């Protein structure tokens, strides 16, 4: 196959030579692109990441975090799954999710997975806006005679136990009138005057105008939120996201108005 035309004064490409050069340039470009993709993948800039999140704990800061990560890593395809805290450890182990935002790990998962504390959210009392104690800090014992609306323990055992523990510290057992498996339902029932509740302070940014979120002064208590992952499945993309989250802890605390 002849690629070149040679004369005494010049060398030119034949038709076959021109086609060969064109295809060669495509091969070189493809090789360069393959190298670039491989390097970006190795740096955790390309790929996919599935995140499980607990809406009870992440409502205020989560949207901003996701937007920020998408802007910084546009080559990473994010999938977001709202998931109860109790379901996330198994999902991390079987690879259904790569990162979980959840309550602290309990045995046996605390030995199988890794986790890192994001923040401790203070517990606040939530009252109807027209309640006699609405509008300011209060002692939990002031609610001893009130009906409580809480999340079902099967759905949120850690927080249910936190509520009963705080009430016990205050010297009473809560009169639980209703339970729900949705935070929106709990807030709706409180707004309707069916009782009062305790919730993580981060949820006070919810769009319920007829509610009063009151800090507790005695006793004070908080509940932790962690990000968790499986060390056996930890790849570069997970590392990129974890590093991003560590750099955003100040933003998270600001979003939740934690000092």
User: What pLDDT score was predicted for residue 146?
Assistant: 97
Instruction: Say if 246 falls within a structural domain.
Output: yes
On the question of pLDDT at 33 being above 80, the answer is no
**Residues 151 and 209 reside in one and the same domain:** yes
Instruction: Say if 127 falls within a structural domain.
Output: yes
**Residues 68 and 195 reside in one and the same domain:** no
User: What pLDDT score was predicted for residue 77?
Assistant: 93
Instruction: Say if 27 falls within a structural domain.
Output: no
**Residues 247 and 186 reside in one and the same domain:** no
Is pLDDT larger for residue 135 or for residue 259? 135
Q: How many domains does the chain have?
A: 2
Tell me the CATH number at 101. Answer: 3.40.190.10
**Residues 141 and 167 reside in one and the same domain:** yes
How many whole angstroms separate alpha carbon 197 and alpha carbon 181?
A: 14
**Residues 136 and 217 reside in one and the same domain:** yes
| The Cα angle at residue 199 between residues 194 and 203, in degrees rounded to 5 | 105
Query: pLDDT category, 2, cuts 50, 70, 90?
Result: confident
Query: pLDDT category, 88, cuts 50, 70, 90?
Result: very high
For residues 240 and 42, is the Cβ–Cβ distance under 8 A?
A: no
Residue 90: which domain range? 47-119+225-255
């Amino acid at each position: 196959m002849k690629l070149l035309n040679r004369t005494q004064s010049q060398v030119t490409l034949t038709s076959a030579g021109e086609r060969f050069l064109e295809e060669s340039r495509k091969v070189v470009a493809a090789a360069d692109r393959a190298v670039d993709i491989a390097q970006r993948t190795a740096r955790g800039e390309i790929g996919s990441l599935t995140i499980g999140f607990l809406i009870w704990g992440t409502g205020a800061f989560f949207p901003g975090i996701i937007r920020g990560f998408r802007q910084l890593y546009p080559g990473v395809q994010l999938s977001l799954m709202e998931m109860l805290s109790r379901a996330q450890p198994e999902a991390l182990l079987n690879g259904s999710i790569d990162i979980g935002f959840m309550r602290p790990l309990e045995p046996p998962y605390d030995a199988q997975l890794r986790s890192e504390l994001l923040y401790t959210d203070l517990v606040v009392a939530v009252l109807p806006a027209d309640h006699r104690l609405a509008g300011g800090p209060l002692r939990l014992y002031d609610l001893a005679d009130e009906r409580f609306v809480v999340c079902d323990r099967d759905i949120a055992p850690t927080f249910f136990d936190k509520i009963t523990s705080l009430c016990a510290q205050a010297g009473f057992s809560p009169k639980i009138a209703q339970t729900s498996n949705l935070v929106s339902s709990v807030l709706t029932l409180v707004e309707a005057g069916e009782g009062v509740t305790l919730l993580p302070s981060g949820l006070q940014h919810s769009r319920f105008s007829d509610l009063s979120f009151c800090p507790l002064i005695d006793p004070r208590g908080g509940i932790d939120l962690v990000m968790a992952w499986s060390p056996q499945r930890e790849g570069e993309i997970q590392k990129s996201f974890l590093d991003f989250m560590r750099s955003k802890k100040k933003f998270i605390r600001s979003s939740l108005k934690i000092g």
